[in-house]
Each structure stands twice: as structure tokens, then as C-alpha cells.
Chain A
């Protein structure tokens, strides 16, 4: 069975400090990993996916198959980054569902 673990329910950092939101997964095949974000009073939306290998709003995430991790990173946190972040795993083409972690609430302190 596939599983996504986000060990931190809440993460508080100061503005300008580096941010790392942790995500570990368990899956025997080759998964696709995503990060979703939910800002206050907005709908849940895609932030980035590992196959795109792109930086969105200064965030990056690298899939580490050896450590089965997909941590989200940003070198300098901004106040507008405060939100709920979910890591999700897609077991690949042909699957029908994503498995989400329990989410990490990021709070950036001004």
C-alpha cells in the first residue's frame, strides 16, 4: 500500500530564513510526487510536481528515491508563504487516485 508521511503538523520560521517541509513516501513502484498548497480562504491548488523539475514561487522539491523523500525547500521564507502544504503521491499512469499526507501548516513570522 502507498503511504505519504509529513512528520510536522506545524512549522514556524522567521521571514528570510530557509524553509524545508518534509515528505516521505512508501511505494514499491515509480511514483509521481506533488506538492499542493492551500492559502487562507483559497482553494487547494497544485504548487509543483517532481516531473516538471521547476521552481514555483521560489520553492523547489527533489525526488530522492534512495531516501523515498520529496522535501519542499525555499531558501528565504516570505510572509505570503504562510499556508497549509500537502504532499501527494500518484502511483503512476493508469492509477486513479492520489494519496495525500496529513499536511504541514507553515507559519512565517515577520
Chain B
């Protein structure tokens, strides 16, 4: 079965320090990978998505970047954290397949999330 691992679960970092959050998926190949930020009252904000190794699409301009060095690995990074980067970050994956009526998307599967506090 497919599983998604996201770590660390919590992180406290000072302003100006670097960031690296990692996400890996097991049990599937060539997944679409996503980074979301979840904030109370603001819902889920898509930050980045990737449809393949080295392919990253950014949805919002920000202090963060993403990389996909391997098929099932997705990394969220920052060179210098800002106070406004504090939040709850979620990694997710989905597969794409072929059905009788053409290609389809599976639902998103989420990791447990990382609570980032920038001090």
C-alpha cells in the first residue's frame, strides 16, 4: 500500500535561519507531489506542485522554494526564514491513471504535516 512520510512533525527556527522539510512517498511511482500551507480561516494554500523529477511549479511568490531530487521525494526549503513563514505545512501526493473514459486524477493523500514556528 502507498504511504507518505513527512518530517519533522514540529520545528522551531529563528528568523534568518534556513529551512528544509522533507516528504517521501512509498508504494507508488511517478506521483504528483504537492506542498500546501494550512492556516486557520484561510484554508489550504497551494505553494508548489511537481509532476516529475526536477519539475516544480510555484503558485505564490514567497520566501520558499521546492525541489524534487528523486521521483518520490519532495523538499520544501528556505534560505532565510521570515516570521511570516510560521504555519502548518502539508505534503500530499496523488496518482494519475488511465480509465475507460481517459485519464483521471486520484484524490489527494496528505502527510501528517509540519508545524513550523519562526521566532
- Determine which of B41, B43, B46, B104 lies in contact with A93 in the assembled complex, contact meaning CB atoms within 8 Å: B104
Residues A43 and B110 in contact, CB atoms below 8 Å apart: yes
B38-81 interface (Cβ within 8 A of A): 38, 41-44, 46, 49, 51, 57, 59
Interface of B, secondary structure class, is strand
Q: Does A100 contact B (CB under 8 A)?
A: yes
Is the beta-carbon distance between A96 and B32 smaller than 8 angstroms? yes
Interface positions, chain B 74-111, Cβ under 8 Å from A, are 90, 96, 102-105, 107-111
With an 8 A cutoff between CB atoms, is A70 at the interface? no
Q: Is the CB of B103 within 8 A of A96?
A: no
Interface check A83, CB cutoff 8 A = no
A96 touches B110 (CB 8 A): no
A44 & B110 in contact (Cβ 8 Å cutoff): yes
Which A residues lie within 8 Å of B102 (CB)? 93
- Minimum CB–CB distance for B109 against chain A, Å: 8
